[in-house]
Amino acid sequence: MTQSIFPLQAYGSGVSAYSTAESESSTAVERSSVRESAIGTPLDIGDIASISEEARVKYSLKQEEPEETEFGEKAKEWLDRLGLESGTQSLKDGVTREVEVEDGEFTVNEYKEGRLVRTINGSVSDRGVSMTTKLYDATGEVRQTSTVEMSENEDEVASVRRSFQWFEHGELTRSMTDSMLLRSEYIDLGDMGTEGAKVSQDQHVSTYHGSIQEYTDGQLRRSIEINRESTNVSKANRSDVPTDDLAAWSMEQVGADSLFSIEIVEFDADGEKVRDSLFEDHVKDFEGTEDGELEQSFSSSWYANGKLVQRTHGELSMSETELSALPERPNILDLLNLSEEEYVTEETKSGAELLSDSILESSSDASFFTDALQKYVGKGQFDTAENISEGRASDRPYSVRWETEIYNREGELTLRRKDTEEGVENLHEGGLEFRIGGALAEDEYRATLDRTSHVVENYDENGKLRQRSEVRSKESIVRLEDGADYLKTRVTSEVSAQGKSQSSVQTLLGSLKDTDENAAAASAGMAAGLDLTFDDAFQVFRSLSPAKAVAQDQQ
C-alpha cells in the first residue's frame, strides 16, 4: 500500500470512543498499526482510516486530569469559535437571546413570548469548552437537561461528549450519552488545471457512539446502542472560479468507507428481556472504481417469560458494477449537519472548528449527530434485502443467508430453517450481447445468474434432529451457435430421516424463479426481520429532535 500523506492510523477491534484509561500505551500502539490511512497521493484512495487507539487513550486520560482554569490564548480561540458576545440578540422564530461573557465564563438565556425556554451556563479554558443546558416547557418545568464537553488533543482529534436527560412532570423518562470524535486533514490540489481555482482534497475521519435508555414509571423498557465510523474523502472548490468538474464554492464526495450499527433491547414491566436485535452495515465505495462492496448482518432474539422462543440471523453482501452503484451513505455534510455554504469556505477548518460551528445548537439538540441516520433510514437506503426480494437489485452480484430457529417452552430447539440466495455475476463468453437469431431475447439479458438453497430441520422434544430436507437450485445458460440461448435450472433435493436418506437431481427448462416458488425466501426473510428494527430506529432518531419535543409541549 502507498504510504499515506495523512498520518492517520486505523484500529481493528472496533474500540469504543470511551476507551478506558486503564488501556496500556503499548497495546494501543499495536492496535493502531493494524491498518494504514485512507489517502495516499492525491485521489489515490485506499482503505478506511480511523482515529488511532493511541489517540483515544490519550483523550481518555485527559478526561481524568484536573480541570484547567487558565484563560490563555487557546481559551480565547475556543471563545471566538463559539461566537458569543455580551448583549441581546433577536433570533428566528421570535426568540430573544441574552448573553453575558466574562473571564472565560458565559451564560445564555433565551426567551419566547416573555417565557424562558433555554438556559446555557458554560466556561472555556485552554483545555476546551464545557456547558450545561436546560430546556423548559410551557409551565416553566425543566423538560431536558444536558452537559457538553468539547476539546482537542495534541493529535488534532476533536471530541464532543454529551449527556442528556428528559423529564415529564419531574420524572425521568429517557437518558442519553454520546460522543463524536473527528479528525480533519486536507491536501491543497492547487488550481487543478483551471487558473485561479482553489481546490482541496479533504479527509474526515469520524467516530460516533450513542447510548439511549427509555423508562416507563421508573422502569427501563428499552435501550439503544448506536455506533458509526467513517472515512469520508471529498474534493472542494474553495474559490469563485469553476473547474471542469466542480462549480464555484462547491464540494463532491470522492468516496467513503462507512460502518454503522444499531442494537435495540426491549424489556417488559417486570424487567425481563422481550426482544433484542442488532443490525450492522458496512459500505466501502470510492468514486471512479468498480470495486465497491456492501456487507450487512442482522440478528434478533425473542423471549417469553425470560426464555428464548425464536432466534433469527442473516448476512448479506453486494458488489458494485460499472453500471450499478451501491446505495449512498451519509457524507461529511450529513454527519456534521452542515450546509455546503458553511463547509466550503476559503480556508479549510480543523475538526475542532467544524464541531465548534454547531456546539451551541448540538448542546440541546440530542438528534444533531443522528439526523443523517434518520434521513437515510427513512429513505430506505439501508433496505438492501427488501430491494433484492422485490427484484430491484438483480443487476448486481449479491448473496443473502437467512436462518430462523424456533424453541419450545422448555428451551429446546424444535425447528431450524436456512435459506440462501445468490446472484452470481454472469461471466458467459461474449457477455450475452443481443444478436439476431442467437443469445437470449434482448429483454432477458442477465447480469447475474441465480442460485438458491433451502434447508429445513425438525427436532424432537429432546432437541434431537428428527428430519432434514434440503433443496438446491442453480441457474445456467445454454449457449447455441445456431439458435437462441436459453436458461436451465438444475435442482438437487435430499431428505434424511431415521438414518435413511433419499435424493434426486432434475434439470428443468426456464429460469430459477420459474422453478423455485421460494426463490426470494432469504432476502424476504431478512427484509421482514429488519422492518421492525428500522421502524424502531427511525422513531428513536425522530424522537430525539427538540422540534418534536416542543410540538408535544404545545399539544
* DSSP secondary structure letters along 498-529: TTEEEEEEEEEES-HHHH-TTTTHHHHHHHHH
Provide the Cα torsion 348, 326, 208, 364; round to 10°.
80
Phi, psi of 263, deg, nearest 5: -120, 130
Residue type, 260: F
- The dihedral of CA 165, 168, 172, 173: what is its sign? negative
Distance CA 136, CA 114 (A): 13
Cell of 141: 418545568
Q: Output the pTM of the full model.
A: 0.83
Give backbone dihedrals phi and psi of 431, rounded to 5 degrees, phi first: 65, 15
pLDDT reported for residue 15: 31
Q: Phi, psi at residue 342, to the nearest 5°?
A: -70, -35
Core vs surface per residue 101-139: b (16+ CB within 10 A) or e: beebebbbbbeeeeeebbbbebbbbbbbbbbebbbbbee
For residue 461, the model assigns a pLDDT of 86
The reported pLDDT for the residue numbered 288 is 64
Does residue 29 sit in helix, strand or coil? helix
All three cell numbers of 395, joined, read 443487476
Q: How far apart (Å, rounded) are the C-alpha atoms in residues 236 and 200?
A: 5
Q: Which residues of the chain have pLDDT under 70?
A: 1-71, 288-289, 394, 428-445, 546-555
- Quick one: pLDDT at residue 169? 85
State which H helix or E strand residue 355 sits in. Answer: helix 351-356
Grid coordinates of 147: 452537559
The answer to whether the beta carbons of residues 520 and 526 sit under 8 Å apart is no
